[in-house]
Amino acid sequence: MSDLPSLNCPTTTSRASVPTLGWMSRIGFACWLMLAAGSVSQAQLSVVPARASQLPSLGDGSELPAASERRLGDRIAVSIFRDPDYIDDPVLGDYVQGIWQPLMNAARARGELSNELEERFAWNVMLVRDRSVNAFALPGGYLGVHTGLIAVVSSADELAAVMAHELSHVTQRHISRLMTQQQRQMPWVIGAMILGALAASKSPDAANVAIVGGQALAAQGQLNFSRDMEREADRVGFGVMVDAGFEASGVGGMFEKLQQASRLNDNGSFPYLRSHPLTTQRIAEARARLQMAPPTVSSAVAGHSHLHAMMAARARVLGNPGVDALRRMQAEGQRAMPAATSGSALSSALAGSLYGGAFAASRLREHAVARTLAARLKTLAATVPETSSAADLLAVEIDFEAGNIAQAAAASRFDAATSRAQLLVQARALLAAGRAAEVSDKLQTWVVTHPKDALAWQLLADAWGRQNQLSRAVRAEAESRFAQLDYPAALDRLKAAQELLRSGREGAGQNMHIEASIVDTRTRQVALLIREQALEDKVDRKLQR
């Protein structure tokens, strides 16, 4: 029974067995079962060759419509967005998206991602501040990655192995299939309870046996079904990962880490090992199948491995490891300085040490140390295209935190190839330098093509507020709330913008007329969405009775 996944309630499970943020206690046992189907289960990453998944679809066996699953995911996601452990770090987010998008493209090309799911689901990857090594999938295409996972994996290939596994849980409709399985088993449980009630008059022991036996039968069926879904996610995820261009050895690397961790005493670092223990049989099976995988080009070439080392260091710092851990990272960066001469080549270890040391020193407000380490890293990273942008942005962040606004703004420039991280990190520096008009122009263009970027809307609100365009600033705040699915808050801000426009405080003219039209239209749209959501909730409650 050691291979069986745990079915503990949220109040008794560990923090990383499932994503136990503040919202977990409000989800309840039924929703936990759905989350359990999408929990990372890295210890169960058994795989088969990619071509084995090229089979005709026989239907997903789910009775839950995709739209209903999306609504369920939205309700959970709202709580995650509000939780302080949710982080929107543009730099780390860009790195994760650089892995996620090839996986999505591969799933689409392989036929794993249907047009309906691609259109209806959110496909939103969220970063969670948690030092545990974990990731999770939620209903409706929401996926979460813990900072602890990014900090521990040795390459993008290993991170891709975990994310492909989670992606496959969503594309194969495992959560909705699990719910359907629960509904199908409910008559057996009810029947056992009825038999128990009938038997109670003659023998209390017989009644207990009937009731407990029925519950055990349902639980065992649920466990068997869950294991089957894990195997399917292993198989499909491996194929997606390989077709996306990542090396199959990334799965092997994860297994090696998990096997080594399982030999150590449980200290909470790998919590899912308690409920998903590794077995020699599963490891041997995975390694044997890896040998059958087609050859791939590794993403762990020099530049990519350097970038991963830098992002892993960033994840460790963002995980809030404590002052002592930050000081150790700073000291590690300072010890690496003698090896970081101008004529030396940049290695992955050196890149990670300098980046982590500089970022940790900035968090400790040791600004002089942070600038020195960042400057040395920037010099060495200039010769490696994959790392130069990350080093430049780190220098801008450190100058900004140190109060060197002029220097941070001087190093900030927008161009046609500006990434999200470059845009948002540099926008903060330029706003502080009084260049709000430049920032608002660039952010306006960005949100047109990225309307769900909540952080970009927040910065745009700041930029418009600094230019005394109050109604626009309030509307941008509303769009930021809307992007995080907080529709009532978005409606409140839109109504506040309407009041500002009616008051005439911002004058009149064609521009204000256009702004008023935009606000009125969005107000009606959000109000209609709230009413539709209330109606859908009412229908769902009736169906559950």
Q: Provide the token pair at 466.
A: 């600094």
> Could you tell me the two tokens for 24?
């977990």
- For residue 384, being part of any structural domain is answered with yes
Tell me if 352 is assigned to some domain: yes
Q: What is the mean pLDDT of the chain?
A: 78
Mean of pLDDT values over 284-292? 67
- First vs last Cα of the chain: how many Å apart? 35
Long-range contacts of 381-387 (CB under 8 A, 24+ apart): 381/306, 381/346, 381/351, 383/345, 383/346, 384/302, 384/303, 384/306, 384/346, 385/303, 386/303, 386/304, 386/306, 386/307, 387/303, 387/306, 387/307, 387/310, 387/346, 387/351
- Verify that 318 and 256 share a domain, yes or no: no
3-state secondary structure of 99: helix
CB atoms within 10 A of CB 374: 27
- The residue among 215, 193, 255 whose CA lies nearest residue 47 is 255
305 domain residue, yes or no: yes
How many CB atoms are located within 10 Å of the residue 58 CB?
6
> Is 7 buried (19+), middle (13-18) or exposed (0-12) by CB count in 10 A?
middle
pLDDT for position 59: 43
Q: Is residue 64 part of a domain?
A: yes
Strand partners for 137: 143
Render pLDDT for 128-139 as a digit per residue (tens, 0 to 9): 999 888 888 888
How confident is the model over 510-519, as pLDDT tens digits? 678 899 999 9
CB 294 within 8 A of CB 123: no
Domain assignment of residue 219, yes or no: no
Its domain, for residue 334, covers 301-402
pLDDT of 222 strictly over 70:
no
- 247 and 395 inside one domain: no
For 358-403, the pLDDT digits (tens) are: 999 999 999 999 999 999 999 999 888 889 999 999 999 999 999 9
| 234 C-beta neighbours (distance < 10 Å), count | 25
Using one digit for the tens of pLDDT, what is the confidence trace for 481-509? 999 999 999 999 999 999 999 987 776 66
Residue 440 lies in a domain: no
Question: Is-above-0.85 flag for pTM?
Answer: no
The residue out of 402, 433, 453 marking a domain boundary is 402
Say yes or no: 82 and 160 in one domain: yes
Considering the domain architecture, whether residues 357 and 247 belong to the same structural domain is answered as: no
Same domain, 126 and 32: yes
**Do 116 and 257 belong together in one domain?**
yes
Task: Find which of 160-174, 409-423, 426-440, 531-545 is predicted with most confidence, using mean pLDDT.
Answer: 426-440
Looking at the structure, tell me whether residues 264 and 372 fall in a common domain: no
Pairing of strands 86-87, 124-128: antiparallel
Q: Does 140 share its domain with 278?
A: yes
